[in-house]
Amino acid sequence: MKKQGILNSHISKVLSDLGHTDTIVIADVGLPIPEGVTKIDLALTLGSPSFEETVNAIASDMEIEKIVVAEEMKTNNSEALHYIEDKFEGCDIEACPHEKFKQLTRQAKAVIRTGEAKPYANVILQAGVYFG
C-alpha cells in the first residue's frame, strides 16, 4: 500500500504518465469537461475538496513549468489568483480569456474536478522535466 504522496490511484497514474509539456487541469465544479478527456471527480460537497487543497497536493507530486489561468480570475476571483501567483512564484504564469482556456482543456491528459464553488477557480498545469 502506498503511504505518501497522492493516494488517489487515478491521479497517481496520470501524474506518472505525464511527459514534458503535457497538461492537466484542476477545475471548479462548473468547468465543462471536454468529451474524450479523462475526468477525475473529487467533488464531495460544495467547497470540498477546495481548489487550493487540490492544487497543493498535485504540486507536491508534479514538476510544473507553466501555469495557465483565465484572465477573468483577476476580477472575479482575485483570492485564487493571488494564491496561484504566490504558490508558483518564479514559474511562467499565463492568462487567457476563459473561452480560450476551455479550448486548451481539450488537450489535457486529465481534468481533476474539485468541489470548489468560486468562479474561475481553474488552472492548467504544464509538466516540466525533473532530473533530480
From the candidates 13, 20, 82, 106, give the one annotated as an active-site residue: 20
Q: Which three cell numbers stand for residue 130?
A: 525533473
Which residues on neighbouring strands pair with residue 66, listed in sequence order?
Answer: 92, 126
The one-letter amino acid at 13: K
Establish whether 10 is a catalytic residue. Answer: no
The closest alpha carbon to 122, from 90, 62, 13, 108, belongs to: 108
Which residues on neighbouring strands pair with residue 38, listed in sequence order?
Answer: 110
Extract the annotated binding site.
28, 98, 120-122
| pLDDT of 131 strictly over 90 | no
Extract the annotated binding site for substrate.
28, 98, 120-122
pLDDT tens sequence across 50-105 = 999 999 999 999 999 999 999 999 999 999 999 999 999 999 999 999 999 999 99
CATH of 9-127, one of 3.40.1650.10, 3.40.50.2300, 3.40.50.720, 3.30.980.20: 3.40.1650.10
Average pLDDT along the chain: 96
The one-letter amino acid at 12: S
Q: Which three cell numbers stand for residue 28?
A: 471548479
